[in-house]
Chain A
C-alpha cells in the first residue's frame, strides 16, 4: 500500500483509471445520443489517462488552460486514431471531434481536481485517501446517474420512434424534430384506439378513493394506538407490522377465489374494497408515529375545555398533523397507482382496466413496443410529477413508511 502513496504513482494510477471511466461514459452517452458507433479503447485510455495524471501532480498549469490544451491534444490524437475513444466509419467528424474535445477537457479539469493536494513525492495517508475518495465520488455520481437515467431515457425515446427505426439501429435515439406532432403518434394511438384515457381516469379515481378510505380508517386507529391506553396496545401495534409483512401473493389467491364466487371480479368496487386494506396498516403505522410526536398538552387543554375526544381529534390533532397527512396520502396514492398484481388478477374486462393493467395488456407480440413504452411513460409521468412537485412530503412519507416494498 505504501508503494502507492507517491505522487508519481498515485497521480498516473488514478488518472488512468479515471480516463477509463470518462472514456466509457462519453462513448456510451454519445452512442445513445447519436446512434453512431463510439467505443472506449481501454489501453489507450490507461496510457493517456496515466500521462494526464502524471502531468496533473505537477500542478504547473491552471485548470482552464490545461483543459483547453488536453482537449485540443485529444482531438488531434483522435484524428490520428489514437484517442481513448475510437469511432466507426459511419461516425460524423463533427460528432467525433466534439466527443474527443469534451473528453479531453473534462479529463484534464477533473483529474486536476481529484489530485488537488497530491504533489510529486511521498503523500501522507490523508492526502492519498482524499484523492481516492474524490475519485470514487466522481465515479459514484457518474455510475448512479447513468444507471438511473438510462432505463428512463430508453423508455421515453423508444416511445417516440417507430418500429422500422427501432429495428434498423437500436442505439439510435436521436429525434427527428421535423416530424413534428408525428413524434407522438404512439401516444395518440394509445388514447384514441386503446382507450388509455379511460384507464388513466380509472387509475386516478381508484387511487384517490383508496387514499380517502385509507385515511378514514387509519386516522382513528392511529390515534387510538398513539394516545389512548388500553389493554393489548403493544400487541396490536406489533400485529400491524406483522400484517404489513404478509406477501400480497399469498392473499391474492383466496381473494381471487372469493371474488370469483361473489361476482366481484372485474368490478371497480372490488378493487376499491381491496386496495385500502393493503394500505391501512402502513398508513396507521406512519400516522401513529407522527401522533406520538405531537404534544399531548394541547389535546389535554382541549379536553379540559370540554371538547370530546372525537372533537379533539377533529379540531386539534388533525390540523396539527396536516404535513403527515400529506406524506401518508402521497405514499398511499403511489402504492395504489403503481399496484399491479391485484389489478392483473382481478380485472379482465378492458373497460375497467387500471393503467397498470392496461399496460400489461399491451405486452403482446402483435402490439409494437413503442406503444408499450408510451404506455409506461403515461403511467410514470403523473407519479413523477407528483413526486418532484411534493418531494419534501414524499421523501418523508417514504422514510416513515417504506419498510414496505
Chain B
C-alpha cells in the first residue's frame, strides 16, 4: 500500500488556472502598458532631451514642379522646373533624392548634373540639404507630338526621400530641462502653490463632506432629493461648472460682484480670479465645492453602517450630542477619513483641468500640473514640460508608498 502525500509544487490544474487568468488579463495588460507604461518611460526619456514643440514636425524636403514656356507645336522649347527647399531653417536633411515620371515625347536638351533621365523616369540625387536650403533644377527640353497630345503637362507629383536626424531618437541628452525647471524661485513658488491647493483643497473637501453627511444622516422626506442635489457639482462636466464660476465671479459683469456691491460688502468689484492671493483661494474653494460631494458620499455610507446600539447606550448614559459625536462617531469615521484624505490628497495634487479652466495658471495659481502644460505648450519646450511631469511622478511614488503603507485595506480599498 502506498502512502499518499499532498502534492508538492504547482499541479497541472493550477497551472491551467494561472494560464487562463493571464489570458483573461492579457488585453488589459497590453492596453495599459501601451498607454500608461510606455508613455511613462517616454516621459523620462524626453525629460533628458532638448526638444521643443517645433521639433515634433520633422523637417521635410519640399518640391514644386512645373513647366515654363508654352508648347504649341512640335519642336517648341520648354523648361521643366523643380523648386526645392528644406522646410526647416536649421536642420539638415541627408540623402535627399527626387524621382518623377518623365513625360512621354519630351526630349531633354541639356541636363542638370545632379539628375539623369533613363527610361521614362527622372532621378536626381541631391545629397544633403542644409537648413534653409533653397534651389531650382531647370531642365530644358523639346516638345514632341506625344507630349502635346497628352496636354503638355507633367505626369504625377515628384517623390522626395531623405533622412532626418530625429531629435527624439538620437543620442543627444541634456540636463538643461531640469536645470530650467529648478531655476530660481519659480519652482519653489509653484511647489508652494501646489501644496497650498492640495492641503487646503483636501482638508476643506473632507470637512465640508463630513458636515454634509451629518446633515443627511437621518431619514426625512426629501433626503434622497437633497442627496442627489449635493452630488451635482461632482457629476456635472468640469468645463461647464468652471465656466459658470468664472462668469459668476467676473469682475465686470459677474453676479457675485453685483450682489456684494449691492449688499455693501465692497465698494468696487473684486477681481476674484485675477488677483494674487485671492485667485489661489478661489481655485481652492472651487476644488472644495466640486469634491465635497465625494467625501460626503463615502462618509455617509460609512455612517449608515455604524451600529445604532452604541448610540442608544450613550444616550442612556446621558451623553450630550456633541460628546456622542466626538467620542463615538468620529473615532468610527477615522478609518474612512484617513483613506479619503490620502486618496484625495493624491488626486488633488494631480488635478489639472480645474485650475487650467479657471485661471489658466495665472495670478499665482500655477500648480505643478499646470506647469507641465505651460512649459510644454505655452513656452513650447516639451523637454521642460516632461521634466516637470517626471517630478510629479516622483512625488506620486512617495505618496503611494504612504498610501499602501497606511491605507487601510478593510475600508473598501
Contact = CB atoms under 8 A, between A and B. Distances in A.
A372 B291 CA distance: 23
Interface in A349-405: 355-356, 359-360, 363, 369, 372-373, 375-377, 379-380, 383-384, 387-388, 391, 394-395, 398-400, 402-405
B150 interface: no
Interface stretch (B64-72, B131-139, B234-242): B234-242
A27 interface: yes
Contact of A402 (B56, B294, B322): B294
A230 B237 contact: no
A245 B346 contact: yes
Nearest to B237: A338
A148 interface: yes
A332 to B, nearest CB: 14
B350 A247 contact: yes
A247 B369 CA distance: 8
B27 A231 contact: no
A88 B372 CA distance: 49
B347 to A, nearest CB: 4
Contacts of B262: 31, 37-39, 88, 171
A220 interface: yes
A280 B61 CA distance: 42
B232 interface: yes
A154 B21 contact: no
Interface residues of B, number: 99
Interface stretch (B39-47, B82-90, B112-120): B39-47
B277 interface: no
A405 B42 contact: no
A399 B299 CA distance: 10
Interface stretch (A69-77, A138-146, A176-184): A138-146
A79 interface: no
Contact of B211 (A140, A248, A249, A289): A140
Question: Of residues B56, B245, B353, B372, which shows the largest number of chain A Cβ atoms within 10 Å of its Cβ?
Answer: B353
Interface stretch (B170-178, B184-192, B248-256): B248-256
A152 B232 contact: yes
B400 A151 contact: no
B248 A398 contact: no
A341 B377 CA distance: 13
Given A257-B168, A369-B247, A373-B247, A169 B258 contact: yes
Interface in A224-267: 224-225, 228-231, 233, 236, 238, 241-243, 245-251, 253-255, 257-258, 260-261
B208 to A, nearest CB: 8
Contacts of A137: 215
A167 B57 CA distance: 45
A103 to B, nearest CB: 15
B36 A243 contact: yes
A255 B39 contact: yes
A246 B24 contact: no
B247 A158 contact: yes
Q: Is the interface of B mostly helix, strand, loop or mixed?
A: helix
Contact of B389 (A249, A258, A375, A403): A249
A145 B258 contact: no
B350 A340 contact: no
B18 A229 contact: yes
By size class, the interface of chain A is 35 or more
A242 B397 CA distance: 9
Q: Is the interface of A mostly helix, strand, loop or mixed?
A: helix
Given A144-B230, A170-B255, A384-B236, A242 B400 contact: yes
Contacts, number: 283
A277 B259 contact: no
B253 A166 contact: yes
Interface in B139-189: 168
Contact of B25 (A167, A236, A372): A236
A196 interface: no
B344 interface: yes
A405 B392 contact: no
A141 B396 contact: no
Nearest to A273: B35
Interface in B244-274: 244-245, 247-248, 250, 253-255, 257-259, 262-264
B334 interface: no
B382 A359 contact: no
A246 B36 contact: yes
Contacts of B243: 359, 363, 372-373, 376
A30 B291 CA distance: 28
8 contacts: A32-B259, A171-B262, A173-B255, A225-B21, A245-B347, A355-B237, A359-B243, A405-B348
Interface of A: 27-28, 31-32, 37-40, 88, 125-126, 129-130, 133, 137, 140-141, 144-145, 147-152, 154-155, 158, 166-167, 169-171, 173, 216-218, 220-221, 223-225, 228-231, 233, 236, 238, 241-243, 245-251, 253-255, 257-258, 260-261, 273-274, 276-278, 280-281, 284, 289, 309, 334, 337-338, 340-341, 355-356, 359-360, 363, 369, 372-373, 375-377, 379-380, 383-384, 387-388, 391, 394-395, 398-400, 402-405
Interface of B: 14, 17-18, 20-22, 24-25, 27-28, 31-32, 34-36, 38-40, 42-43, 46, 56-57, 168, 211-212, 214-215, 224, 226-241, 243-245, 247-248, 250, 253-255, 257-259, 262-264, 289, 291, 294, 297-298, 301, 318, 320-322, 343-344, 346-353, 356-357, 369, 372-373, 376, 382, 385-386, 389, 392-393, 396, 399-400, 403-404, 412-413
Given A152-B236, A395-B297, 18 more contacts: A40-B263, A148-B232, A151-B233, A158-B247, A170-B254, A171-B262, A220-B27, A221-B28, A245-B347, A250-B43, A250-B389, A251-B43, A254-B46, A309-B20, A338-B239, A384-B232, A399-B301, A405-B351
